[in-house]
Structure 1
Amino acid sequence: MFADVILPLPLSNTFTYAVPDEMNDKIGKGYRVIVPFGRRKYYTAIVVALHENEPKHVETKEICSLIDYHPIVNEYQLKLWEWISFYYLSSLGDIYKAATPSKLRMESETCVELKKTEDENFPLTSTENNIITYLQNKGAAKISEIEKNLKIKNIFPHIYALTGKGIISTYETIEHKFKPKTEKFISLNREIPANDIPALIGKAKKQHVLFEQIITLLSEKNASCISREEIFKETETTASVLDGLIKKNILCQFTKEVSRIAPKVNTTRKPFPLSERQQQAFDEICTCFGNKNTCLLFGVTSSGKTEIYIHLIEKMLLEKKQTLYLVPEIALTTQLTQRLKVVFGDKLGIYHSKINDNERAEIWHKMLSDNPYKIVIGVRSSLFLPFRQLGLIIVDEEHENSYKQQQVAPRYHARDTAIVLAQISGANVLLGSATPSIESFYNTKRGKYGLVILSKRFEEVLMPKIIIENTKELRRKKKMKSIFSPTLISHIQQALDNEEQVILFRNRRGFAPRIECKLCEWTPKCKHCDVTLTYHKYRNELVCHYCNKAYSIPVECPVCHEKSLKFIGQGTEQVEEEISRLFPGTNVARMDTDTTHGKYAYERIISDFQNKKIRILVGTQMVSKGLDFDNVSVVGIIAADSLLNYPDFRSHERGFQLMMQASGRAGRRNKQGTVIIQTTQPELPIYQFIAENNYEGFFQMQLAERKIFKYPPFNRLISIELKDKNEQRADAASLYFADMLRRSLKESVLGPNKPVISRIRSYYIREILLKPENKLSAKFVRDCIRQTEQRLREQPEFRYVVLNYNVDPV
């Protein structure tokens, strides 16, 4: 028997291995196996097919060992991987790595050990001597460990040199990455009669007290054992007192495996009854699912979409089916989790990137168990979990570009991938948004998706009052003395006087987007990227937001040598500082990627704002995404034009969505909110559409433009990025690639061009854009691209040029 497997490497093909006879009746599709690859390396592979067709003209290696006794990946997942590989032009190996927790993928590591040599008079460098000394103390060690502890940047030339001299030898080792969490537990020694215990304890009063406390705790919890940690938490004892009882054999101590997943949570309420409008929307969605796989719930902000989701999840539970609830940002999981847990308790699981690798592996195993989560709330990566009875996928805030994986392959879009997963597994998809993406709304117009509309806010709460402030005119008349207009300042003061809260939205982090010389207009740029540096005041550094390289602030302009540097623009840091200056003594907080590094940073800021410890919250787009605060009366949008002035056909759509979503945070339950948008171009049609809450008008305007210029939804887009550290090679490779593609795809090939950011991390970037018509076969287009890539690789000078594909870029 032979097995085709996927390796966790950026390789498109599967590889065939011979199955040892003793594994024939144990191995299966979706199982993990350890296989050799290359000369000496070993990897954890996933079996995707078993057959009896021996590969011809190739030496077939044998599987080393079988890890699992049940599939770790199910049939639905493998079909989804195949589709992602085809549609997004990504290798199966990249998908395997993105889909599974790293702790489930073992990989061999190279270790080194000292050899006994008769001749020890080799000439050695100081680094080689350090390596030998380290090994004399350790005996053997992993190369990665030596590199880290001795702080050697490139260790391999030194390892090769020592191996060549016969001083060290190398070998491969495999370790299980996933380590179960264990805790020490305490139980009573039942073999000792209760009457004998006082005599055994003797005069140790603290031990007497602790023993009685442990008996009480065990009785209250109706348990046979209790953890050491819980004993210390519930009593005021010390480790020496507890260890004294253990030494006297009165208590037994043992190690027990425990879960990293949050403890059991009891439900405290049933779903709230739906209003008349919500019930109507719920019924329409259920009817729609009878005819169509996908439905769009177009509901204005605060219309009660989440409660409809809760009722749909309840319906899935009654049908014994699972629900996947997708959100675009980790920040949203905090509030949603609180709302869902009180209704569904421990039926709910959470899965996102802030969860550590061991927790992710535990959740994966739980989903494979006989008692999986019935509901999972998470970001795009939760699509890859092994669901068994998936009935519904909710894609909340479906318009968000966070659903698109941008940086590394596979560059998939979670919304579109969710629709395919639902088709594979026989589930339905509900897309929810107050500002749907142009593509999704267009699909409802074509009849591809169902459409359900909620046009009023819950409990008849009024939509916010929108005020458009012309900051250009205010500055001309010298009425604007800070980055905030007088109207915005006045409304903030009024909100604070009324014990209400304020959100200020500025979609740029840092203190100032750039600094500039007043005399010669010199601007500092990153040495590795073709971008200006952002000034971060709290770090007192200039930072590149592409490679994170930090630079010290120049004292003078290096071109004209004048001390005439000034800050240009405002970031969230400057907004926070300015608002604190204008309203001293007011609790102000900032929420952006600089302030939300820790695992619980989002939760802390959101909780403090919810509990009114924070009066004014300054933030980037994080603050605009579906958060529900019932005491916010004013929302200020600073420098709105910066959202629209990016050279991208989607910039107005994205700006409209962000401003409408940010506006939706204002005014809840008992009062109409106010939104103040600061702009230098109030005459732009987009501001009128926002003021009138006119999505349909904005949609029609955008659709007309896109049809003229052949953009989605009328044409598909595929961006092909070529990168090289040599600019001439990047130019030549991109020209060759574009010329080859034009032979098949004609005028749908645009470029190559320099993108707006044409150098990142020392790589020069060139971009080719494909705009094939929708009627052109997807397979034909992808075959053309793959054949062109193969021809490029056949040219020796282009063999190592980096190629990235981005299908349906956002």
Structure 2
Amino acid sequence: MFAEVIIPLALPRNYTWKIPDKMLDSLQVGCRVEVNLGKNKRYAGVIKRIHSDEPSSFEAKEIINLLDPEPVIQRYQLQFWEWMAEYYMCSEGEVMAAALPSHFKLSSETILIYNEEFGDDFSALDNEEYLVAEALLLKHELKLSEVQQILDVTHVYPIVNRLIGKKLCFVWESLKQTFNSKKESFVLLEHEFDNEDRLSELLNNWGRAPKQMELLLAYLHLMKTQGEVTKTELLKKSSASDAQLKGLVEKGVLRIEKRSVDRLHFAPKDIFVDFDLTASQQEAFQKVQLCFDSRKVCLLHGITSSGKTHVYIKLIEQFIRKGQQVLYMLPEITLTSQIIRRLQKHFGGYIGIYHSKFSQNERVEIWNKVKSGELKIVLGARSSLFLPYHDLGLIICDEEHDSSYKQQDPAPRYHGRDAAIFMASLLQSKVLLGSATPSLETYYNAKQDKYGLVTLSERFGDVKLPAMEIVDTRTIAKKPGEKIMLSPQLLDEIKATAAKGKQTILFQNRRGYAPYQVCTVCGWIAECRNCDVSLTYHKFSNKLKCHYCGSIYPITATCQACGSDKLVQRSFGTEKIEEVLTTELEGVKIGRMDIDTVRNKNAHDILIQQFEQKKIDVLVGTQMVVKGLDFDNVDLVGILDADALVHFADFRVNERAFQLMEQVSGRAGRRDSAGRVLIQTINPKHPVLLHVLQHDYVGMYNEEIEKRRQFFYPPFSRIIQVQFRHKERDVVTDAAHVFARSIEVPYGKYLVGPAEPVVNRVRNMFLMELLIKLPRDSQLIARCKRDILNGCNQLHSEARFKKVVIVPDVDAI
């Protein structure tokens, strides 16, 4: 018997291994096994299929070990991985690498084994070799990480190679499980004092050591109120030391026991939905239920602050009372902290969170709790689709229009919303898509009756939509080439809002201090050495940074072209706005939310809570402030540079600009006042701005959908973008044209390009792009994908193009 095994490598097809006789009865589909590939590399793979078809072109190696007694991956997950690999043109190994927590993807770890025949004469070794040899003589085995610690250097490979060459040691490749359960020390009373009389006698006859007495009384109090006591908690409450606790243990009064505990502390499991829906919310709730009777997918198009979350909570309650699980997807982890507090209030410990900021050990624990059905609600980003659901009844895809649902790099380049809809079809689950500004594709599908459509057009509490106002910055006096950052009108409004005790949100979709530095003499602009983009000045760190590759450069005081010292900063980012506001608004507390200020695990949550608690008066931010956050006290929203949103080379530019401006405007006036929105622009007659002023999503949709139909863009076509990357411009240009010619006969009328993108060099790789716009014909699309992959193989068969990286991106955005 043989097993088809998925390993976390980009292999075009899955490899097959032979099943040893001793494992025949214990191997199951979905279990992990240890396998050998190549000379000595070992991997943990997942069994996809067990069969009797012996490979004809190679001799199958035997599986080395079975790693799980029970499957860790369910059959529907393997089907989901297979679909994702096929649809998004990648390998199942790449999907596996994205899907599993690191602890399930065992890596091959090099171990050095001491060669006993070498003896103990180290006189011929240099100092570094001697240190490693001595350690090997004592321990017999060393991991490379231990060698690094011994030598206090990271580059140990040359030293290790010399020792192997001198036959002092040899290499053994082993697989190591990296997940360990968390251990906690619990304090318990010794059994003889379980008897109340013995305990009273002990306390009444206590002699010296008053601190130990205080410690014991603190323990008894905690035991009575909490039921169990951890060592950390006890020492904190009693202000005692380790030595005092150790004294009680030595006297035989207390004992310490190590136990495995959850890394994630959950509230008690309880359902407590303590609100009633408004008339319009109740109507929407009932319509969604009716839609689910006949369709798998429903779109809830609710304007900002209409209370979509209330409808979600009522639906979640309905599904978990039936014993089913619910996945609540959000595009950004910055949104999870506010939503989780709301959901925990209603569902307590039924909820788990899953996203990239969690440690690998925490992810494994969530994985196991979802698989067992212990967790009923999962709140997470797109990666939460890969969890092993026990009985998934509903997927809520909130802010479904958001481009963050699309994975860019590495493969699989999947769209969370579309993948959720397919996965729901495997599990017979329902999908609710929610947005105030749905993507054109989703709204089109709803209008074509493919999805159900429910509209929620009233704001919660009958609050009116915010009043929108255009500030024409052309009319404001300024120096030549200067860009208006904060108009006098906007500054006055911020001051007036703060004076009323209300809050302001300012949206600028650029982080840093200044997007570029320019020489006023010759026009030279500081650019990244690795990418074809200007460097952004960050004042706090006093560095120039590339926002594409992350490279950091020192500040330059002179022009690299003409030597002039007349360098000026142009345009503005969130950091500069924060500085100007701090100067202009005395006594007003300013906060900033961008990727630079919310890098660690809890930073975004702390910032949101500070704003909720009114410790911040003005919050300046990038797209992070746009996405679904709900603040009661915001009265004013300022969009500082609308022109940067509408002037962009992309067929979705108008749709995206409308979504961003409408979403950020929706943060204003969510409770007791309508609020105001000021939009700064030099083009007040732009059609998108006219729709934004009227909060007219349908008008924007009707205008854009006609343009899409006219120019054959989605939803009327399916897009596959093929990107070519190479360190030489001539090579990548020729490769793109050779590839385009190879598929020109069958797909010539669907090709756009190849051409250089706007940013044509990133991380020292030159880029070319080819766009294929295909009719919505599943057979034609499948054939085209096969031809693209064949074209890639043909191109790589030519020596000149062997190192050209080809990246197909299905449904590129």
CA distance in 2, matches of 1:134, 1:483: 62
**Structure 1 residue aligned with 2:35:** 35
CA distance in 2, matches of 1:431, 1:651: 22
Tell me if 1:372 matches 2:374.
yes
Task: Provide closer, same or farther for how the CA distance between residues 37 and 202 of structure 1 changes in structure 2, counting only shifts above 3 A.
Answer: farther
How far is 1:163 from its partner?
Answer: 2.5
Equivalent in 632, 635, 638 of residue 633 of structure 1: 635
8 A Cα contact 2:636 2:668, kept in partner: yes
8 A Cα contact 1:184 1:227, kept in partner: yes
Tell me if 1:525 matches 2:530.
no
**Structure 1 residue aligned with 2:225:** 220
Tell me if 1:197 matches 2:202.
yes
How far is 1:334 from its partner?
Answer: 0.9
| Structure 2 counterpart of 1:44, one-letter code | A
**Structure 1 residue aligned with 2:165:** 164
How far is 1:148 from its partner?
Answer: 7.3
**Structure 2 residue aligned with 1:255:** 258
Per mean C-alpha deviation after superposition, the further-off stretch among 734-743 and 403-412 is: 734-743
User: Number of matched residues?
Assistant: 806
How far is 1:127 from its partner?
Answer: 7.1
Task: Provide closer, same or farther for how the CA distance between residues 482 and 530 of structure 1 changes in structure 2, counting only shifts above 3 A.
Answer: closer
CA distance in 2, matches of 1:147, 1:647: 49
CA distance in 2, matches of 1:250, 1:114: 47
CA distance in 1, matches of 2:134, 2:474: 68
Tell me if 1:463 matches 2:465.
yes
**Structure 2 residue aligned with 1:359:** 362
Is the partner of 1:483 in helix, strand or coil? coil
Equivalent in 342, 365, 373 of residue 345 of structure 2: 342
**Structure 2 residue aligned with 1:47:** 47
Give deviations 1:16-39, integer Å, cap 9, x for gaps.
Answer: 112222222222111111111111
How far is 1:419 from its partner?
Answer: 0.5
CA distance in 2, matches of 1:396, 1:251: 51
**Structure 2 residue aligned with 1:493:** 495
8 A Cα contact 1:271 1:307, kept in partner: no
8 A Cα contact 2:298 2:454, kept in partner: yes
| Structure 1 counterpart of 2:39, one-letter code | R
CA distance in 2, matches of 1:785, 1:735: 14
How far is 1:107 from its partner?
Answer: 1.8
CA distance in 2, matches of 1:146, 1:527: 35
Percentage of pairs with the same residue: 40
Is the partner of 2:363 in helix, strand or coil? helix
| Structure 2 counterpart of 1:168, one-letter code | C
Give deviations 1:49-107, integer Å, cap 9, x for gaps.
Answer: 11122222321111111121221111221111111101100110110010110111212
CA distance in 2, matches of 1:784, 1:623: 43
Task: Provide closer, same or farther for how the CA distance between residues 137 and 803 of structure 1 changes in structure 2, counting only shifts above 3 A.
Answer: farther
**Structure 2 residue aligned with 1:105:** 105
8 A Cα contact 2:271 2:317, kept in partner: no
CA distance in 2, matches of 1:22, 1:447: 55
CA distance in 1, matches of 2:314, 2:747: 48
Tell me if 1:206 matches 2:211.
yes
How far is 1:123 from its partner?
Answer: 8.8
**Structure 1 residue aligned with 2:6:** 6
How far is 1:747 from its partner?
Answer: 2.2
Per mean C-alpha deviation after superposition, the further-off stretch among 680-689 and 738-747 is: 738-747
How far is 1:801 from its partner?
Answer: 2.2
CA distance in 2, matches of 1:461, 1:751: 49
How far is 1:150 from its partner?
Answer: 4.8
8 A Cα contact 2:122 2:133, kept in partner: no
8 A Cα contact 1:2 1:18, kept in partner: yes
**Structure 2 residue aligned with 1:277:** 280
How far is 1:226 from its partner?
Answer: 1.8
CA distance in 2, matches of 1:769, 1:476: 42
| Structure 2 counterpart of 1:662, one-letter code | V
**Structure 2 residue aligned with 1:541:** 543
| Structure 2 counterpart of 1:185, one-letter code | F
How far is 1:152 from its partner?
Answer: 5.8
CA distance in 2, matches of 1:588, 1:488: 15
How far is 1:126 from its partner?
Answer: 8.2
Equivalent in 310, 330, 334 of residue 333 of structure 2: 330
Give deviations 1:724-781, integer Å, cap 9, x for gaps.
Answer: 2233322232222221121332221222211111111112222111111112622111
Task: Provide closer, same or farther for how the CA distance between residues 149 and 643 of structure 1 changes in structure 2, counting only shifts above 3 A.
Answer: farther
Unaligned runs of 5+ in 1: none
How far is 1:447 from its partner?
Answer: 1.1
Give deviations 1:536-569, integer Å, cap 9, x for gaps.
Answer: 0001000001111100111111211111000010
How far is 1:275 from its partner?
Answer: 0.6
**Structure 2 residue aligned with 1:700:** 702
Task: Provide closer, same or farther for how the CA distance between residues 283 and 156 of structure 1 changes in structure 2, counting only shifts above 3 A.
Answer: same
Alignment of 1:682-721 (within 5 A): 682-721=684-723
8 A Cα contact 2:131 2:150, kept in partner: no
Is the partner of 1:779 in helix, strand or coil? helix
Task: Provide closer, same or farther for how the CA distance between residues 477 and 132 of structure 1 changes in structure 2, counting only shifts above 3 A.
Answer: closer
8 A Cα contact 2:478 2:484, kept in partner: no
Give deviations 1:228-286, integer Å, cap 9, x for gaps.
Answer: 01212332222221110001121111111000012334658424101110011011111
Is the partner of 1:771 in helix, strand or coil? strand
TM-score scaled by length of structure 1: 0.96
CA distance in 2, matches of 1:421, 1:84: 10
Alignment of 1:440-451 (within 5 A): 440-451=442-453
CA distance in 1, matches of 2:774, 2:786: 13
CA distance in 2, matches of 1:514, 1:134: 53
Is the partner of 2:631 in helix, strand or coil? coil
Is the partner of 1:290 in helix, strand or coil? helix
CA distance in 1, matches of 2:217, 2:748: 85
Tell me if 1:175 matches 2:176.
yes
Tell me if 1:512 matches 2:514.
yes
Task: Provide closer, same or farther for how the CA distance between residues 525 and 349 of structure 1 changes in structure 2, counting only shifts above 3 A.
Answer: same
Task: Provide closer, same or farther for how the CA distance between residues 705 and 130 of structure 1 changes in structure 2, counting only shifts above 3 A.
Answer: farther
How far is 1:477 from its partner?
Answer: 11
8 A Cα contact 1:398 1:415, kept in partner: yes
Per mean C-alpha deviation after superposition, the further-off stretch among 68-77 and 96-105 is: 68-77
Equivalent in 737, 740, 752 of residue 738 of structure 1: 740
Per mean C-alpha deviation after superposition, the further-off stretch among 7-16 and 560-569 is: 7-16
Is the partner of 2:583 in helix, strand or coil? helix
| Structure 2 counterpart of 1:23, one-letter code | M
Per mean C-alpha deviation after superposition, the further-off stretch among 147-156 and 571-580 is: 147-156
CA distance in 1, matches of 2:81, 2:207: 67
CA distance in 1, matches of 2:751, 2:645: 28
Task: Provide closer, same or farther for how the CA distance between residues 134 and 767 of structure 1 changes in structure 2, counting only shifts above 3 A.
Answer: farther
CA distance in 2, matches of 1:256, 1:323: 31
How far is 1:521 from its partner?
Answer: 0.6
**In angstroms, what is the RMSD of aligned CA positions?**
2.2
How far is 1:626 from its partner?
Answer: 0.5
Per mean C-alpha deviation after superposition, the further-off stretch among 192-201 and 520-529 is: 192-201
CA distance in 2, matches of 1:204, 1:238: 13
Task: Provide closer, same or farther for how the CA distance between residues 665 and 113 of structure 1 changes in structure 2, counting only shifts above 3 A.
Answer: same
Tell me if 1:232 matches 2:235.
yes
CA distance in 2, matches of 1:521, 1:130: 57
CA distance in 1, matches of 2:800, 2:147: 35
| Structure 1 counterpart of 2:431, one-letter code | V
8 A Cα contact 1:722 1:765, kept in partner: yes
How far is 1:147 from its partner?
Answer: 5.1
TM-score scaled by length of structure 2: 0.95
Give deviations 1:291-329, integer Å, cap 9, x for gaps.
Answer: 111111111000010000000111111222111000011
How far is 1:159 from its partner?
Answer: 3.8
Task: Provide closer, same or farther for how the CA distance between residues 366 and 481 of structure 1 changes in structure 2, counting only shifts above 3 A.
Answer: closer
Alignment of 1:649-668 (within 5 A): 649-668=651-670
Per mean C-alpha deviation after superposition, the further-off stretch among 117-126 and 492-501 is: 117-126
